[in-house]
Chain A
Amino acid sequence: MYDPTVARLTYRALLGRRRALVLGALPLLLVVIALVVRALTGADDQTAVNVLGGFALATMVPIIGVIAGTGAIGPEIDDGSVVYLLSKPLKRPTIIFTKLIVAVAVTMVFSAVPTLIAGLILNGNGQQIAVAYTVAALVSSIAYSALFLLLGTVSRHAVVFGLVYALVWEALFGSLVPGARTLSVQQWSLAVAHKMAGGDLVTSEVGLPTATVLLVAVTVLATWYAGQKLRSLTLAGEE
Chain B
Amino acid sequence: MAVERPLPTPVTSTGDQTRIHNIGYRSYDGPRLGRAYARRSLYSQSLRGAYGLGRSAKSKVLPMLLFVVMCVPAAIMVAVAVATKAKDLPVDYTRYAIIMQAVISLYVASQAPQAVSRDLRFKTVPLYFSRPIETADYVRAKYAALASALFILTAAPLLVLYVGALLAKLDFADQTKGFAEGLVSVALLSLLFAGIGLVIAAVTPRRGFGIAAVIAVLVISYGAVSTLQAIADVQDSSGAIPWIGLFSPITLIDGVQSAFLGATSAAPGGVAPGTGAGIVHVLVVAGLVAAAYGLLLRRYRKVGL
A interface residues (Cβ-Cβ under 8 A, vs B):
18-19, 22, 26, 29, 33, 36-37, 40-41, 46-47, 50-51, 54-55, 58-60, 63, 66-67, 70-71, 74-75, 78, 157-160, 163-164, 167-168, 171-172, 238-239
The answer, among A29, A41, A168, A171, for a CB contact under 8 Å with B220, is A29
Assuming A18-B204, A54-B223, A75-B207, is B228 touching A37 (CB within 8 A)? yes
Query: Is A167's CB under 8 angstroms from B219's CB?
Result: yes
Query: Is A41's CB under 8 angstroms from B59's CB?
Result: no
Having A46-B234, A157-B62, one finds 18 other A-B pairs with CB under 8 Å, namely A18-B204, A18-B209, A22-B213, A33-B224, A40-B231, A40-B232, A47-B234, A50-B231, A54-B227, A55-B223, A63-B212, A63-B219, A66-B212, A67-B212, A71-B209, A74-B207, A160-B62, A160-B106
Minimum CB–CB distance from B122 to chain A (whole Å) comes to 8
Minimum CB–CB distance from A127 to chain B (whole Å) comes to 18
Query: Is A59's CB under 8 angstroms from B220's CB?
Result: yes
Query: Is A63's CB under 8 angstroms from B216's CB?
Result: yes
Q: Is the interface of A mostly helix, strand, loop or mixed?
A: helix
The answer, among B56, B206, B219, for a CB contact under 8 Å with A239, is B56
Query: Is B211's CB under 8 angstroms from A167's CB?
Result: no
Assuming A41-B235, A75-B207, A158-B208, is B106 touching A164 (CB within 8 A)? yes
Q: Is B55 an interface residue (CB 8 A)?
A: yes
Query: Is B219's CB under 8 angstroms from A50's CB?
Result: no
Minimum CB–CB distance from B230 to chain A (whole Å) comes to 6
Instruction: Please indicate the chain A residues that have their CB under 8 angstroms from the CB of B106 in the complex.
Output: 160, 163-164, 167-168
Query: Is B59's CB under 8 angstroms from A74's CB?
Result: no
Assuming A33-B227, A75-B207, is B216 touching A26 (CB within 8 A)? yes
In the assembled complex, 9 residue pairs joining A and B whose CB atoms fall closer than 8 Å, in A order, are A33-B224, A40-B232, A54-B227, A59-B220, A60-B220, A63-B219, A67-B216, A71-B209, A75-B208
Query: Is A63's CB under 8 angstroms from B220's CB?
Result: yes
Instruction: Please indicate the chain A residues that have their CB under 8 angstroms from the CB of B62 in the complex.
Output: 157, 160
Q: Is B120 an interface residue (CB 8 A)?
A: no
Query: Is A74's CB under 8 angstroms from B213's CB?
Result: no
A164 to B237, CA, bound (A): 34
The answer, among A51, A71, A74, A238, for a CB contact under 8 Å with B227, is A51
Query: Is A19's CB under 8 angstroms from B209's CB?
Result: yes
B residues contacting the other copy or chain, number (CB 8 A): 35
Query: Is A54's CB under 8 angstroms from B230's CB?
Result: yes
A164 to B226, CA, bound (A): 20
| Nearest-neighbor residue (CB-CB) of A59 within chain B | B223
User: 4 nearest interchain CB pairs?
Assistant: A59-B223, A159-B208, A55-B227, A159-B211
Query: Is A172's CB under 8 angstroms from B220's CB?
Result: no
| Nearest-neighbor residue (CB-CB) of B240 within chain A | A40
Instruction: Please indicate the chain B residues that have their CB under 8 angstroms from the CB of A51 in the complex.
Output: 227, 231
Minimum CB–CB distance from B115 to chain A (whole Å) comes to 15
| Nearest-neighbor residue (CB-CB) of B121 within chain A | A238
A26 to B217, CA, bound (A): 10
A51 to B224, CA, bound (A): 9
Query: Is A33's CB under 8 angstroms from B230's CB?
Result: no
A206 to B211, CA, bound (A): 32
A46 to B62, CA, bound (A): 39
Instruction: Please indicate the chain A residues that have their CB under 8 angstroms from the CB of B74 in the complex.
Output: none
| Nearest-neighbor residue (CB-CB) of B58 within chain A | A239
Q: Is B110 an interface residue (CB 8 A)?
A: yes
Q: Is B102 an interface residue (CB 8 A)?
A: yes
| Nearest-neighbor residue (CB-CB) of B226 within chain A | A54
The answer, among B215, B223, B230, for a CB contact under 8 Å with A163, is B215
Of residues 147 to 178 in B, which have CB atoms within 8 Å of A's CB atoms? none
Q: Is B109 an interface residue (CB 8 A)?
A: yes
Instruction: Please indicate the chain B residues that have their CB under 8 angstroms from the CB of A37 in the complex.
Output: 228, 231
Query: Is B211's CB under 8 angstroms from A55's CB?
Result: no
Minimum CB–CB distance from A59 to chain B (whole Å) comes to 4
Instruction: Please indicate the chain B residues that have their CB under 8 angstroms from the CB of A54 in the complex.
Output: 223, 226-227, 230
Instruction: Please indicate the chain B residues that have their CB under 8 angstroms from the CB of A172 in the complex.
Output: 102
* Chain B 59-103 interface mask (CB, 8 Å, partner A; 1/0): 100100000000000000000000000000000000000000011
Minimum CB–CB distance from A14 to chain B (whole Å) comes to 12
Query: Is A47's CB under 8 angstroms from B223's CB?
Result: no
A56 to B263, CA, bound (A): 30
Minimum CB–CB distance from A163 to chain B (whole Å) comes to 5
Minimum CB–CB distance from B289 to chain A (whole Å) comes to 23
